[in-house]
A and B are shown apart, each in its own frame.
Chain A
Amino acid sequence: MESLLITILVTSVPILLAGTGELIAEKSGVLNLGVEGMMLTGAVAALGSVLIFGNPLAGIFFGALAGILISLIFSFFTIFLMTNQVATGLGLTIFATGLTGLIGEPFVGKTISSLPKIDIIFLSDIPFLGSIFFKHDILFYISILLIIAVHFFLIKSRYGIIIRAVGDNHDSAHSIGYPVKKIRLLCVGFGGMCAGMGGAYIPLVLTPHWSEGMTAGKGWIALALVVFASWLPFRLLLGALIFGGITILQFVGQARGWPFPSQFLNMLPYLVTIIALSIISIKTRSGNTLVPSSLGKPFLENN
């Protein structure tokens, strides 16, 4: 039971990180469907840098950096050339899938050392809970702290309010004098960084390997997760655990001989997201707006 819970927690980290980044980007009004591609880029960069520098911590740094860099391509097209965000995001994922396959070719079949585990003093000695929550790698702790930070940042801080204003109505925000494009560039960059780290987590902790397309749809799950969480950070954390849990449960179900097909559990995250979407849509009609109103709309400065 204990190791099962640990496995679920660890499996949730990549989608939690990527979801955190995408949440900020979407809050600023940019829908980046390139999460899967950015995660792959982070994964290949992390693995490559560990092979080169021999230090798993370098993997975190270069994974994040690669995520930021590839998100700049997306920002350049959508924010400055005002291309369609959906098409550009899809393009980014397709592009990155091919690019990472090319970059990753020499890494195939090589293994790296995983991120070391850090036991948190005192807390890790708590029976049961200690070994579940406080005996993990650094990136695990970062992902949890990050989502908490994002929650308070969005609700309490001035900058958080500005980001939400830009995402809700970019024209008004612009007329008050906020640099809409700059803010969005930063938010998408943050999204790229988080997705890069989320991708990096896969070779650094889950499977010390590179294989083409190894994120295997985790980026799409992260996108669904943001919608499921209705753009609320703590709901995102909960959702990540549920979605991660479902991924592991489909194997547990098989090992224990549960009488329904594993494909059904595979489908669940998306089904749950559709349900969440319909609930949000009903709530929006009754006046409760959770969706950033300018989400996906290009901002034209002289308009």
Chain B
Amino acid sequence: MYKRFMKLITFLSILITPFLLVNTKALAKTTKVGFVYLTTPGDHGWTYAHEIGKQMVEKEFGNKVKISVVENVPEGPDATRVIRELAKQGNEIIFTTSFGYMEPTLKVAKEFPNVKFEHITGYKRSKNVATGNIRFYEGRYVQGVVAGLMTKTNKIGYIGAYPISEVIMGINAFAQGMRSVNKKATISVIWANTWYDPVKEADAAKVHIAEGADILAQHTDSPAMLQIAEKKGALGFGQSTDMGAFAPKAQLFASINNWGPYYVEKIKQLRNGKWNTGDGPNHWPGNTWGGMSTDMLLLSEFKNMPSDVAAKAKKAHDGIKSGKIKIFAGPLKDNSGKEILASGKELDDGALWGMNYYLDGVTGKVPK
């Protein structure tokens, strides 16, 4: 029995060998790409958007890339272990797709100087760590315009994940959009202190509605807020992907993160030997921060709003895309009335990353 089995194995091996040889030839040109996900694509938000981007890479390169994905990786020491493992397995470029992977990515990058790393939404780079980000705040400006026109109670409820500059600039962009059409409405912010916790996000949404908000916005990842809005007859905006399926009557529109073109571009650079973060301070050439103008940020269809509001939203979108609308142009005042920027000037990217104040239109203070 055993002998026969071994014979079968030998026979099969001989049969397969030519295919294997062909395959290794193809493999020689294959780029190994790694992805680290915070949750699963089933979050229908942040990670789902990355999954769509990854699928675009598969479509573009076909069998010229070999992709490994690790899902559900907590930010912290576990992330270091996972990223190191991906580097060890021979992945040439690794995309780490959450803010909290910044330090782990930098740490592993030091150990593997020949591997390229793309960290998504951070601010620290090195020789082999670049960063990718989307100007999410551009979409939030349009949200603000729609919210300002649609609100009846003049109260907007905003759910933030953590009080970091990335989230704060989104709130402020929202406020700028809202103020461009409505001088009375105010935004109140609840911090969930998590990126993804449907129960907490739902609780925060309920409280906002109980406090009189009729429009909700979120900078957390699950569709829970929109589901609550749908149930209680409020309106809101989807995050990262089109969440209309969860809240057909409540979603006004969603800002859609479109990572695909960026992934494809970076893998192309690597294959052509052009991937580079430069030698300058803070490795600026390694920073990708695209928005509506490069199609990294898209808006879903405008729904559940009158056509004149939709037209104004489209105008805001087009204005940002063409560069006509400057979201953070002076004069800017914070919500205590202190001047931030004089008329005629515009905040630069560095100033956006230093935001630790709310602009006029937001209530409360940024938690220290």
Give residues in A with beta carbon < 8 Å to B. 1, 3-4, 6-7, 11, 105, 108-109, 111, 114, 202, 206-209, 211-212, 214-216, 247-248, 251-252, 254-257, 261-263
A109 and B42 form a contact (CB under 8 A): yes
Can you give 29 A-B contacts (C-beta < 8 A)?
A3-B206, A3-B210, A4-B210, A7-B203, A7-B207, A108-B40, A108-B43, A109-B41, A109-B43, A202-B199, A206-B199, A206-B202, A207-B201, A207-B224, A208-B227, A209-B223, A209-B224, A211-B198, A211-B199, A211-B222, A215-B199, A216-B199, A247-B203, A248-B203, A251-B203, A251-B207, A255-B189, A256-B211, A262-B191
What is the interface size of chain B, counting residues whose CB is below 8 A from a CB of the partner?
38
Which of chain A's residues have a CB closer than 8 A to the CB of B344? none
Using A254-B364, A256-B211, A257-B188 as known contacts, say yes or no to A214 and B157 having CB atoms under 8 A apart.
no
- Chain A CB within 10 Å — which of B42, B231, B365 has the most? B42
Residue of A nearest to B206 (CB): A7
The yes or no answer to B136 lying at the interface (CB within 8 A) is no
Is B207 touching A211 in the complex (CB atoms < 8 A)?
Answer: no
Q: Are B200 and A216 in contact (CB under 8 A)?
A: yes
B191 in contact with A207 (CB, 8 Å): no
In angstroms, Cα B44 to Cα A211, docked, is 12
- Contact mask B135-174 → A, CB, 8 Å, 1/0? 0000000000000000000000100000000000000000
Structural contact, A254 and B189, CB atoms closer than 8 A? yes
A256 CA to B43 CA, complexed, in Å: 30
| Chain B residues positioned under 8 Å from A257 (CB to CB) | 188, 363-365
New contact pairs (9) apart from A7-B203, A248-B203, A254-B364, CB-CB < 8 Å = A3-B206, A3-B209, A6-B210, A105-B40, A207-B201, A214-B198, A256-B188, A261-B367, A263-B193
Closest chain B CB from A15 CB (angstroms): 12
Give Cα distance in the complex from A215 to B199, angstroms. Answer: 8
Residue of A nearest to B211 (CB): A255
Residues of A within 8 A of B44 (CB): 109
The 4 closest A-B pairs by CB, nearest first: A108-B42, A109-B42, A257-B364, A251-B207
CB distance from A12 to the nearest CB of B (A): 12
CB-CB < 8 A to A105: which residues of B?
40
Contact of A111 among B40, B211, B246 (CB under 8 A): B246
Max count, chain A CB within 10 A of own CB: residue among B41, B200, B210 = B210
A4 to B203, CA, bound (A): 11
Q: Whole-angstrom distance from the CB of B203 to the nearest CB of chain A?
A: 6
CB of B208 within 8 A of chain A? yes
Residues from chain A with a CB closer than 8 A to the CB of B198 are 207, 209, 211, 214
* A211 CB contacts on chain B under 8 angstroms: 43, 196-199, 222
Which of A11, A108, A247, A254 has the largest number of chain B CB atoms within 10 A? A254
Which of chain A's residues have a CB closer than 8 A to the CB of B72? Answer: 212
Interface on B for A, CB 8 Å cutoff? 40-44, 48, 72, 157, 188-191, 193, 196-204, 206-211, 222-224, 227, 231, 246, 363-365, 367
Whole-angstrom distance from the CB of B226 to the nearest CB of chain A?
Answer: 11
| A residues less than 8 Å from B364 (CB atoms) | 254, 257
**Of the candidates A6, A114, A207, which one forms a contact with B199 in the assembled complex, judged by CB atoms under 8 Å apart?**
A207
With both chains docked as a complex, state the minimum distance between the C-beta of B333 and any C-beta of chain A, in angstroms: 18
Known: A7-B207, A247-B203. A255 touches B193 (CB 8 A): no
Verify A7–B197 contact, CB threshold 8 A: no
Chain B residues near A202 (CB, 8 Å)? 199
From A114, A248, A255, A262, B231 is in contact (CB under 8 Å) with: A114
Which of A11, A109, A216 is packed against the most chain B CB atoms within 10 Å? Answer: A109
Determine how close the nearest CB of chain A comes to the CB of B55; give it in whole angstroms. 16
Q: Which of these, A1, A207, A263, contacts B202 with CB under 8 Å?
A: A207
A261-B365 Cα distance, complex, nearest whole Å = 11
Task: Give the docked Cα–Cα distance between A248 and B206 (Å).
Answer: 9
Structural contact, B203 and A255, CB atoms closer than 8 A = no
Among A202, A211, A255, A262, max chain B CB count under 10 A is at: A255
**In the complex, what's the smallest C-beta–C-beta distance from B202 to chain A, in angstroms?**
4
Verify A251–B204 contact, CB threshold 8 A.
yes
Min CB distance A78 to B, Å, is 30
Option from A3, A209, A256 in Cβ contact (under 8 Å) with B222: A209
A252 in contact with B211 (CB, 8 Å): yes
Pair A255/B199 contact, Cβ less than 8 Å? no
- Least CB distance from B366 to A in Å reads 11
Nearest B-chain residue to A247, judged by Cβ: B203
Please judge, given known A-B contacts A4-B210, A207-B202, A247-B203, whether A254 and B197 are in contact too, CB under 8 Å. Answer: no
Please give me the residue from chain B that is nearest to A208 by CB atom.
B227
Residues in A neighbouring B246, C-beta threshold 8 A: 111
Q: Measured between alpha carbons, how far is A263 from B162 in the docked complex, in Å?
A: 13
**Neighbouring A residues of B203 by C-beta, 8 Å:** 7, 11, 206, 247-248, 251
Q: How far is the CB of A276 from chain B (nearest CB, A)?
A: 25
The closest CB in chain A to the CB of B44 belongs to A109
Which residue on chain B has the smallest CB distance to residue A110?
Answer: B42
* Nearest chain A residue, comparing its CB with the CB of B160: A254
Contacts of A111 in B (CB 8 A): 223, 227, 246
A215 to B43, CA, bound (A): 17
State whether B190 touches A251 (Cβ < 8 A): yes
* Highest count of chain A CB atoms <10 Å: which of B202, B207, B208, B224: B207
Contact B207 A255 (CB under 8 A): yes
CB distance from A219 to the nearest CB of B (A): 13
Which residues does chain A contribute within 8 Å of B222, judged by CB atoms? 209, 211
